[in-house]
Chains A and B, each alone.
Chain A
Amino acid sequence: MKVKQYLSLAALAFISCFARAEIHIDAIAPNFSLTNEQGQTVSLSDYQGKYVVLEWTNHQCPYVEKHYNSGNMQSLQKKYTDDGVVWLSIISSAPGKQGHVSSNQAIELTQSRNAAPTHVLFDPSGNVGKLYGAKTTPHMYIIDKQGKLRYAGGIDSIKSANPADIKKAVNYVEQGLSALMSGQTISNKLTPPYGCSVKYKS
């Protein structure tokens, strides 16, 4: 066929074999069940009717350290859990990789850092991370009382590991939650996340 003569079709062949992680903002957030630091199973569906924040974390990542060493993350956790928001810190680091911790280490880290998440959840298989398309630590998500995903992206507007930038940046989690709580729509629903890569198994 003549058209085919000048048709050179080059499809690159590195097809990834991973389940497609797609975020649908303003759609129902996919449910998941993970084990917490007490060994209990926690499901997203347990928190229907509450605001839920998902925080992907890895305590050894410099970008996570930026927000914990400065006390920024802890103060967000305290402020919002006091208001009845459910804060889930999720660790998708695979065994043997950076940030992977045992239950005891997780409890110890929460105490030593004076953190206040509702639960620390373990996702060593990375399945929930991939379900939500979590790319970096930190990577933040806000789910509203109806179970709809309302925010996904970076913790704030300045992509750096420098704690001095925290004050200068717009905190998107704070912006998002206060907009939702006052019945407004979020102005920045999706922002590109920044940080270390989530240390997935594959």
Chain B
Amino acid sequence: MHPIIKYLISIMLWLTSIYAELLYAEQSSATGPHIQVQLVSEYTQLNPTQTNWIGILLKPEPHWHTYWRNPGDSGEAPSMQWQLPSGLSVGEIIWPIPQQINVAHLVNYGYEGQNLLMLPLTFTSSAQYQLGQQIEIKVDLSWLVCQEDCVPGWATLTKTFEISNQQQPSAFKPLFAQTRQRHPQAQKLSGRYEITDKHIVVSANPPTSEKWQLLPLKSSIIQHNKPQQIVASTPTQTSFTVLRSDYFIDDKQPIEFLLSDGESAYYLTAQYNTGLTTAAVGTESPHLALILLMALAGGIILNLMPCVLPVLSIKALSLQQQNLPTLTKFAYLLGVLISFNLFALAIVIFRQGGESLGWGFQMQSPWFVALMAFLFLAIALMLLDQIKISNGLTNLGQSWVSSHGFASQFATGVLAVLVASPCTAPFMAASIGVAMVSPPLQTMLIFTSLALGFALPLTVIFCLPKVAKLLPKPGAWMESFRQFLAFPMLATVIWLVWIYLNQTNSSAQLILLSALLLFALFCWLAQHSKGGLKVLCGLAIIACIVAPFYFSKTQVAIEQKTQHTQSYLKYDANKLAELKANNQVVLVNMTADWCITCKVNEQVAFNSSQVQTALADDSVHYMVGDWTNKNSQILSFLQQYQRAGVPLYVVYAGNHSEQVLPQLLTPAMLIEAINLAKKELNHES
């Protein structure tokens, strides 16, 4: 056909569509080139008391298609402008599950053949219509119908309905029923996504299917013509990786997808996976509030301790008849606050100093957890009177606190803290433990809370002397109460031992439990022995504390030898430098538990047998850095590569070269990188 004729035909087709629009201006259906469109309803009448389903029926010629809400690489979804009588409103289009339509190497999403786009029509509460009344519904419809070439069309469709309580099914009712079978599930899924150098990685928990495909609702998210990889990370968690669109804009906004296997589909909203930041922010604030509340309660309980209560009772009783100046009333509180905060400050300074020396006061390190277990067991033993601490200080302080001036009140506050230390020590130790793993500001807050709790009862008595009558009288009950407190402490030991298991293994846990038992035994023995035997017991106690560290170290070494394929080195900058200096091949993997991309890589690449074999080579060292919790060593490593987060994979050939691998790995990429590094080292030597 001559092109000019073709051109003329296309102009004629254009005119036809305009003609069609005119011809069917008052009609519920219209015919355009290659397509028929119609405004239809499920029932012939509209019921004002319920949702009425109407629809736009698109009937293209065989092999011609219309489009889904996201048309894909080209094309356009139908659009509608409704003109409704007042009091009526139309909802969103319910899009049936689309097909993938390939055009050369491009991909479209749409519907070949007949398709019904259903919409709910409802009456608002203010609608005033009488039964039997006729109303007219009008829609300006535009569409694009394509085979390979495309023809757009426009039409205004009109349909008149009677308002009625009794509805007669229309001829299209079976089509509405069929179409509902092709709608996505009502259940909405939620997921998370991450952006790597080239891919978008989405994780969600859909029902099991091997045919899932992610169809974004916007055209500028993924490369529609590229294969999607599905990885089942856990029985419930599925991850999808797909190359992202050239037009993708990383604005960290939620992204909506339709997850479809062709038969069934779910809408999925994926939130940007911020991992570290949200996890930290999300849990920290309520957590801190709880800690502070517990510190306050702990402070109040301190007043009931056997060596504190008698002293404070004397003070309280002696003050009952007197009316103190306001300032003096609060001097005690001030004294307590200052001494507690000085103490906190000392801890913060000690800790900062320790950190710069490289001590890790972290719950992540098993040795710290083990040490805390010993500490809490010791506290329990102390409370059960199995470890005795001299009461000398208490007696000394008692005489101090009997006068009533500002200075005396202040001193009482300071002294109450110091003097009561034999009894408060267990609680203080626990607070110190928490403070060791908390940021400085939090440490100060915890101690302030503790101080407020501690000073609260007496300050209340100073201000409202009548309350003193409510103060419990010292007596034998104090001993029972103190002994009872040993049990929460023992519960804490259980928790710590459980944490320790997660960090190590069951044999290390057995060693720790045995050491704890022996520790308790020797404490008890020391209590009941004298002279040389007591010294021996002391030495045995120290041995008990040290034992788990010694054993856990040898244990790790043994495991590394026996299961070489599974083993990896924990990331350590010095160790890495040493391996590089010794001309070794080192693969560094920076990962985190919350990182979806990392998990996908671990399963697809690292767990594959070829990679396991490659890593088992004696000249290859596999080093893993866990960024799940903040860690300054890993941060500085990431910063060397201008990265703010994980994953990051680097392969070193000694000091000769380094390869930064893509964020989404295949087994072949890893093996190739390792082989290249080996080759380079062989060249050099």
State which of A60, A162, A197 has its C-beta within 8 Å of the C-beta of B6. Answer: A60
Nearest CB on B from A88, distance (A): 20
- B-binding segment of A44-52, A73-81, A97-105, A174-182: A97-105
Minimum CB–CB distance for B660 against chain A, Å: 18
Among A6, A105, A200, the residue within 8 A (CB) of B235 is: A6
Does B230 lie at the interface of the complex (its beta carbon under 8 Å from any beta carbon of A)? yes
Q: With A3-B603, A9-B604, A60-B6 in contact, is A133–B148 under 8 Å at CB?
A: no
Name the residue on A nearest B245 (C-beta): A192
**Which of A9, A65, A126, A161 is in CB contact (< 8 Å) with B144?**
A161
CB distance from B71 to the nearest CB of A (A): 8
Residue in B closest to A23 when the chains form the complex, CB atoms: B246
Q: Say yes or no for B232: interface residue by CB 8 A criterion.
A: yes
Q: Is the CB of A60 within 8 A of B149?
A: yes
Residue interface bits B137-156, CB-to-A below 8 A is 1, else 0:
00000101010111110100
Q: In the complex, what distance in Å separates the CA atom of A52 from the CA atom of B247?
A: 20
Decide if B232 touches A197 in the complex (CB within 8 Å).
no
Q: Is B229 part of the contact surface with A, judged by Cβ < 8 Å? A: yes
CB contacts (< 8 Å) of B103 on chain A: these are 197
Chain B: number of interface residues, binned into ranges: 35 or more
Q: Which of A9, A59, A97, A159 contacts B148 (CB 8 A)?
A: A97
User: Which residues from 218 to 255 on chain B have a C-beta closer than 8 Å to any C-beta of chain A?
Assistant: 218-220, 225-232, 234-235, 245-247, 249
Kindly provide the distance from the CB of A141 to the nearest chain B CB, expressed in whole angstroms.
11
* CB under 8 Å from chain A, chain B span 648-678: none
With an 8 A cutoff between CB atoms, is A61 at the interface?
A: yes
| Residues on the A chain within 8 Å of B232, using CB | 6-10
State A160–B77 Cα separation when bound (angstroms): 9
Interface of A is mostly: loop
Contact string, A161-196, partner B, CB cutoff 8 A, digits 1/0?
110000000000000000000000000001111111
Q: Residue-by-residue, is B1-29 near A (CB-CB < 8 Å gives 1, otherwise 0)?
A: 00100110010001000000000000000
Supposing A3-B607, A135-B74 touch, asked if A16 and B225 sit within 8 A by C-beta, the answer is: yes
Interface string of A10-22 (1 = CB under 8 A from B): 1111111010011
Q: Does A201 contact B (CB under 8 A)?
A: yes
Contacts of A193 in B (CB 8 A): 247
A120 within 8 A of B: no
User: Which single member of A11, A133, A152, A197 contacts B75 (CB below 8 Å)?
Assistant: A197
Chain B positions within 8 Å of A136 at CB level: 73-74
- Known pairs A11-B230, A162-B142, A190-B249; list 12 more (Cβ under 8 Å): A9-B230, A13-B227, A16-B226, A59-B7, A60-B6, A60-B149, A97-B148, A135-B106, A152-B246, A196-B146, A197-B148, A199-B104
What is B's interface to A at a CB cutoff of 8 Å?
A: 3, 6-7, 10, 14, 73-76, 79, 103-106, 108, 142, 144, 146, 148-152, 154, 210, 213, 218-220, 225-232, 234-235, 245-247, 249, 603-604, 607
Which residues on A are within 8 Å of B, measured CB to CB? 1, 3-4, 6-16, 18, 21-23, 59-63, 65, 97-98, 101, 105, 126, 130, 133, 135-136, 152-153, 159-162, 190-202
